[in-house]
Structure 1
Amino acid sequence: KPVAVKMVYDLYKTISIPIIGIGGIMNYKDVIEFYLAGASAVQIGTANFVDPEITLEIIKDLENYCNENKIANISQLSGGIIV
Protein backbone atom coordinates (compact mmCIF):
# COMPACT_ATOMS: atom_id res chain seq x y z
CA LYS A 1 0.00 0.00 0.00
CA PRO A 2 2.75 2.55 0.70
CA VAL A 3 3.88 2.39 -2.93
CA ALA A 4 0.31 2.94 -4.18
CA VAL A 5 -0.19 5.94 -1.87
CA LYS A 6 3.14 7.42 -3.01
CA MET A 7 2.12 6.99 -6.65
CA VAL A 8 -1.16 8.80 -5.99
CA TYR A 9 0.72 11.61 -4.25
CA ASP A 10 3.25 11.95 -7.09
CA LEU A 11 0.49 12.04 -9.69
CA TYR A 12 -1.54 14.55 -7.69
CA LYS A 13 1.42 16.96 -7.64
CA THR A 14 1.94 16.54 -11.39
CA ILE A 15 -1.45 16.34 -13.11
CA SER A 16 -4.87 17.86 -12.56
CA ILE A 17 -7.22 15.02 -13.39
CA PRO A 18 -9.16 12.76 -10.99
CA ILE A 19 -7.04 9.97 -9.51
CA ILE A 20 -8.45 6.67 -8.24
CA GLY A 21 -6.51 5.15 -5.36
CA ILE A 22 -6.17 1.37 -5.58
CA GLY A 23 -4.15 -1.13 -3.57
CA GLY A 24 -4.31 -2.28 0.02
CA ILE A 25 -7.52 -0.62 1.15
CA MET A 26 -8.80 -2.66 4.08
CA ASN A 27 -10.49 -0.02 6.28
CA TYR A 28 -11.64 3.60 6.42
CA LYS A 29 -8.21 4.80 7.55
CA ASP A 30 -6.72 3.47 4.32
CA VAL A 31 -9.36 5.39 2.34
CA ILE A 32 -8.49 8.59 4.21
CA GLU A 33 -4.79 8.02 3.56
CA PHE A 34 -5.40 7.75 -0.19
CA TYR A 35 -7.59 10.86 -0.17
CA LEU A 36 -5.00 12.87 1.75
CA ALA A 37 -2.41 11.80 -0.84
CA GLY A 38 -4.61 13.25 -3.59
CA ALA A 39 -7.08 10.58 -4.66
CA SER A 40 -10.55 11.72 -5.67
CA ALA A 41 -11.95 8.18 -5.41
CA VAL A 42 -10.83 4.74 -4.26
CA GLN A 43 -11.41 1.16 -5.33
CA ILE A 44 -11.77 -1.64 -2.81
CA GLY A 45 -10.68 -4.95 -4.28
CA THR A 46 -9.12 -7.80 -2.32
CA ALA A 47 -10.80 -6.78 0.94
CA ASN A 48 -14.13 -7.80 -0.65
CA PHE A 49 -12.88 -11.38 -0.91
CA VAL A 50 -11.87 -11.38 2.74
CA ASP A 51 -15.19 -9.87 3.86
CA PRO A 52 -17.99 -9.26 1.33
CA GLU A 53 -19.54 -6.72 3.74
CA ILE A 54 -16.35 -4.66 4.10
CA THR A 55 -17.41 -1.90 1.71
CA LEU A 56 -20.53 -1.18 3.75
CA GLU A 57 -18.47 -1.16 6.94
CA ILE A 58 -15.92 1.23 5.43
CA ILE A 59 -18.68 3.59 4.25
CA LYS A 60 -20.26 3.59 7.72
CA ASP A 61 -16.90 4.25 9.37
CA LEU A 62 -16.13 7.06 6.90
CA GLU A 63 -19.49 8.68 7.61
CA ASN A 64 -18.74 8.55 11.34
CA TYR A 65 -15.26 9.98 10.82
CA CYS A 66 -16.57 12.82 8.68
CA ASN A 67 -19.35 13.64 11.15
CA GLU A 68 -16.95 13.62 14.12
CA ASN A 69 -14.49 15.87 12.28
CA LYS A 70 -17.06 18.25 10.76
CA ILE A 71 -16.22 17.20 7.21
CA ALA A 72 -19.19 17.79 4.92
CA ASN A 73 -17.80 15.78 2.01
CA ILE A 74 -14.87 13.39 1.89
CA SER A 75 -13.61 15.17 -1.22
CA GLN A 76 -12.51 17.96 1.15
CA LEU A 77 -9.67 15.66 2.21
CA SER A 78 -8.30 15.21 -1.32
CA GLY A 79 -4.73 16.44 -1.45
CA GLY A 80 -4.80 17.53 2.17
CA ILE A 81 -1.53 15.93 3.19
CA ILE A 82 1.17 18.30 4.38
CA VAL A 83 4.70 17.12 3.66
Structure 2
Amino acid sequence: MLAHLTAASAQAAAASLPTSEEDLCPICYAHPISAVFQPCGHKSCKACINQHLMNNKDCFFCKATIVSVEDWDKAATTSATSSAA
Protein backbone atom coordinates (compact mmCIF):
# COMPACT_ATOMS: atom_id res chain seq x y z
CA MET A 1 0.00 0.00 0.00
CA LEU A 2 2.79 2.41 0.92
CA ALA A 3 4.60 1.72 -2.36
CA HIS A 4 1.40 2.42 -4.31
CA LEU A 5 0.82 5.72 -2.48
CA THR A 6 4.44 6.77 -2.98
CA ALA A 7 4.26 6.01 -6.70
CA ALA A 8 0.89 7.75 -7.06
CA SER A 9 2.18 10.79 -5.19
CA ALA A 10 5.29 11.02 -7.38
CA GLN A 11 3.18 10.66 -10.52
CA ALA A 12 0.75 13.39 -9.40
CA ALA A 13 3.61 15.74 -8.54
CA ALA A 14 5.24 15.19 -11.93
CA ALA A 15 1.94 15.81 -13.71
CA SER A 16 1.34 19.09 -11.88
CA LEU A 17 4.77 20.57 -12.59
CA PRO A 18 5.47 22.37 -15.86
CA THR A 19 7.56 20.25 -18.19
CA SER A 20 9.90 23.03 -19.24
CA GLU A 21 10.97 26.57 -18.46
CA GLU A 22 8.80 27.70 -21.39
CA ASP A 23 5.70 26.67 -19.40
CA LEU A 24 6.62 28.87 -16.41
CA CYS A 25 5.51 32.45 -15.94
CA PRO A 26 8.28 34.66 -17.39
CA ILE A 27 7.82 37.12 -14.52
CA CYS A 28 7.98 34.98 -11.36
CA TYR A 29 9.20 31.59 -12.70
CA ALA A 30 7.18 30.02 -9.87
CA HIS A 31 3.81 29.26 -11.46
CA PRO A 32 2.75 27.86 -14.83
CA ILE A 33 1.49 30.28 -17.46
CA SER A 34 -2.27 30.58 -17.04
CA ALA A 35 -3.33 33.94 -18.51
CA VAL A 36 -3.00 35.72 -21.84
CA PHE A 37 -3.33 39.49 -22.20
CA GLN A 38 -5.47 41.03 -24.90
CA PRO A 39 -4.82 42.58 -27.36
CA CYS A 40 -1.04 41.91 -27.32
CA GLY A 41 -1.12 38.16 -26.56
CA HIS A 42 1.67 38.09 -23.96
CA LYS A 43 1.33 35.51 -21.18
CA SER A 44 1.97 35.14 -17.44
CA CYS A 45 0.48 33.41 -14.43
CA LYS A 46 -2.76 34.76 -12.98
CA ALA A 47 -1.06 35.71 -9.70
CA CYS A 48 1.39 38.04 -11.46
CA ILE A 49 -1.16 39.69 -13.72
CA ASN A 50 -3.67 40.17 -10.88
CA GLN A 51 -0.99 41.84 -8.75
CA HIS A 52 0.16 44.00 -11.68
CA LEU A 53 -3.37 45.12 -12.63
CA MET A 54 -3.91 46.58 -9.16
CA ASN A 55 -1.57 49.45 -10.04
CA ASN A 56 -1.03 49.37 -13.79
CA LYS A 57 -3.07 48.52 -16.89
CA ASP A 58 -0.09 48.15 -19.25
CA CYS A 59 1.47 44.88 -20.43
CA PHE A 60 4.66 43.91 -18.58
CA PHE A 61 6.47 43.30 -21.85
CA CYS A 62 5.29 45.69 -24.58
CA LYS A 63 3.46 48.36 -22.53
CA ALA A 64 0.25 47.97 -24.60
CA THR A 65 -2.90 48.76 -22.64
CA ILE A 66 -4.41 45.50 -21.38
CA VAL A 67 -8.07 45.40 -22.39
CA SER A 68 -8.80 41.93 -20.99
CA VAL A 69 -7.13 38.87 -19.51
CA GLU A 70 -8.20 35.43 -20.70
CA ASP A 71 -7.46 31.94 -19.41
CA TRP A 72 -4.68 30.26 -21.38
CA ASP A 73 -4.78 26.55 -22.10
CA LYS A 74 -1.57 25.27 -23.66
CA ALA A 75 -3.20 22.01 -24.78
CA ALA A 76 -5.93 23.86 -26.70
CA THR A 77 -3.38 26.25 -28.24
CA THR A 78 -1.08 23.40 -29.24
CA SER A 79 -3.86 21.34 -30.82
CA ALA A 80 -5.24 24.36 -32.70
CA THR A 81 -1.77 25.11 -34.06
CA SER A 82 -1.28 21.46 -35.05
CA SER A 83 -4.66 21.37 -36.80
CA ALA A 84 -3.90 24.49 -38.81
CA ALA A 85 -0.58 23.13 -40.10
TM-score normalised by structure 2 residue count:
0.23
Greater radius of gyration (CA): 2
Q: Give the structure with the higher percent helix.
A: 1
- Structure number with the bigger relative contact order (C-alpha 8 A, sep ≥ 6) is 1
Q: Give the structure with the higher percent strand.
A: 2
TM-score normalised by structure 1 residue count:
0.23
